[in-house]
Amino acid sequence: MKYTLGNGFWSRRILKVTEKMIPLQLSILKDEAPGTEPSHAIENFRIAAGLKEGDFHGMVFQDSDIGKWIEAAAYSLKLKKDPALEKEIDDIVDIIEKAQMPDGYLNTFYTLKEKGRRWTNLQDCHELYCFGHLTEGAVAYHQATGKTKFLDIMCRFADHIDTVLGPEENKLHGYPGHPEAELALYRLYLETGNEKYLKLSRFFIDQRGTEPNFFRGEWEKRGQINHWTGRPAALNLKYTQAHMPVRQQKEAVGHAVRALYLYTGMADIAAQTGDETLAAACEALWDSAVNRKMYITGGLGATAMGEAFMCDWELPNDTAYAETCASVALCFFARAMSRLKTDGALDDMVERELFNVIPAGVSLNADRFYYVNPLEAVQGVSGKEKGLEHALPARPKWFACACCPPNVARLMTSLYEYSARETGDGIVLSQYLDGTMDFDRARVTLETGYPWEGALHYTVEAREDQDVFLRVPGWACPEETALTVDGAPAEVKPEKGYVRLALSRGTHRILMILPMKPRRLYANEHVRHDAGCVAFAFGPMIYCLEGCDNPEPLWNLKADPDAEITVSDFRSELLGGVRVLKIPGYRRADTADGLYSEKKPVYVPQTLTAIPYYAWANREEKDMRVWVRE
């Protein structure tokens, strides 16, 4: 499928990524960005290649940033040719090729810093994780340009891994501590047709958590020493989802990004092989993650301790971790699950991520980034007090652990892959991505003012009789959704979230109008942090209060539960262009005599102003709050 940008919400954001974020990230990876700590990622490869003298610097997984950036840049090249960008990638690939060992091994941390200790700490040290991201970059670059050098490099590395890891007696029976190789090997199999890579991906999934537990044996061999602390530490198998075989796992636990990458690989393999037990495990894990452990914004991983899921319903707002990478990973998982079934609920979750946490992870200028996405920020406390150091009130320029910015870039430049797909049943239009998508059987163009307006104008040029599936989002009432096909009204009776349209060969005009109105949302009674509170939404977007628009402190504001919420006209001058919500409510006006008082609080009328959550922290530093007292 070929995608051409349009002029709407998503096209403008994709352009911002291609024109600003990708060049900025390259300058950081090349240590050329003023005021930003050196990444040393490319420098590590130069040293490993013998092109420079020096030592390894950065995280053990520093190589992975290069893979993700190349993947994002490759998708950008698919959208628009850019010879200068292509040359930058080719130059990096030449360095990577020189850094590869004669046996195919490729990892700068072990080549430069831990010589002779390859494959001795799969749990902590990310060799397979780095392999995975470099491989995904190589596959994307091959698809974008047809060039094979990078793909050949990663195939040699994959072939080397296959000589070291596997079910045979003379191999290590290990698997990735940070899942990612599973996804990459699957994509490498699809790109090359080499069954060896599919088999190795499946081995990693099947082997995880089995007895004797590989990570426990590894941990005992190294004297129970943890790589990160350099000291003996207890073994936490849930952290790496290695506490039991994957088919027995029913609850999302441990490091959220690792978990969601693993689940993505499981769903890919289940769809490819028809493994029903693996598919059933994916269903249970999806249900656990999104129905009991996900924030209303789409954030996943509630605690900074291990960047992990907490127990069911435990979703604190000010200490929320909600790593940007976890929301990107949920999109991966949903796309893999869509290969098992067509279900609008999967695509609803992708939409929630795309309009909330993922864009919140990047400033409107595309030059600052959030790793963590709290649902409440308090000046002087957030980012400073113990236990809240991670919940920064302003986006940094970069991170020592810089996994999130290139992850967002590669998702955004490949957004067309999440927006539509051609299946045996027809063309499934799952996200409202403006522009033109050219499939084998049809060309589909969408013009829309979404998400600020509900009208979706499709032009479908069908090259043959064709079924087209339009998603009706879960937040939209079907009875209030209007649909016409070539000017004639059509029924809106979605099945599994989709309306099926049988189109004949030729050109058809389809208009779907979604009911765009503000909504109040309430948390499940088991979510103690949100009791007595309300959140606000407009279309797919969750809104928040920010101190720039409301009197602080925000915790002294209350929303009137019965008053009508109004929506402003589109304000092009505000936060890159938004519609704001006006919510009648109250403000606590008195001050107690001391720390505690018998004096009853007094509330006076106050109109609350809410902006889209993704747009917060783009003005002066102020308080922010998603859940509002009611």
Question: Catalytic one among 71, 218, 307, 376?
Answer: 307
- Phi then psi for residue 306, to 5 deg, are 80, 10
Going by C-alpha positions, the residue among 526, 317, 487, 398 that lies closest to residue 40 is 398
Q: How far is CA 438 from CA 443, 500, 615, in A?
A: 4, 19, 32
E strand residue ranges, 450-527: 455-462, 466-471, 482-485, 488-489, 498-503, 506-513, 518-521
What is the distance between the alpha carbons of residues 534 and 523, in angstroms, rounded to a whole number?
8
- Cis, peptide link before residue 232, omega less than 30° from 0: no
- Reduced to 3 states (helix: H, G, I; strand: E, B; else coil), residue 226 is coil
Residues β-bridged to residue 508: 460
Please confirm, yes or no, whether 307 is among the known catalytic residues: yes
**Nearest-10 Cα torsion for 512, 515, 516, 519:** -150
**120: burial class by Cβ within 10 Å (0-12, 13-18, 19+)?**
middle
For 250-261, b/e burial (b = at least 16 CB within 10 A) is: ebbbbbbbbbbb
For 360-395, b/e burial (b = at least 16 CB within 10 A) is: bbbbbebebbbbbbbbbbbeeebbeeeebebbbbeb
Q: What is the 3-state secondary structure (H, E, C) of 491-508?
A: CCCCECCEEEEEECCEEE
Among the residues of 339-383, which ranges form H helices? 344-355, 357-360
Question: Catalytic one among 130, 403, 533, 548?
Answer: 403
What is the distance between the alpha carbons of residues 252 and 270, in angstroms, rounded to a whole number?
18
Structure tokens at 619: 């003005």
Q: What is the 3-state secondary structure (H, E, C) of 387-405?
A: CCCCCCCCCCCCCCCCCHH
Sheet holding 488-489, edge to edge: 2-5, 435-438, 442-448, 455-462, 506-513, 482-485, 488-489
Residues forming the active site: 307, 403
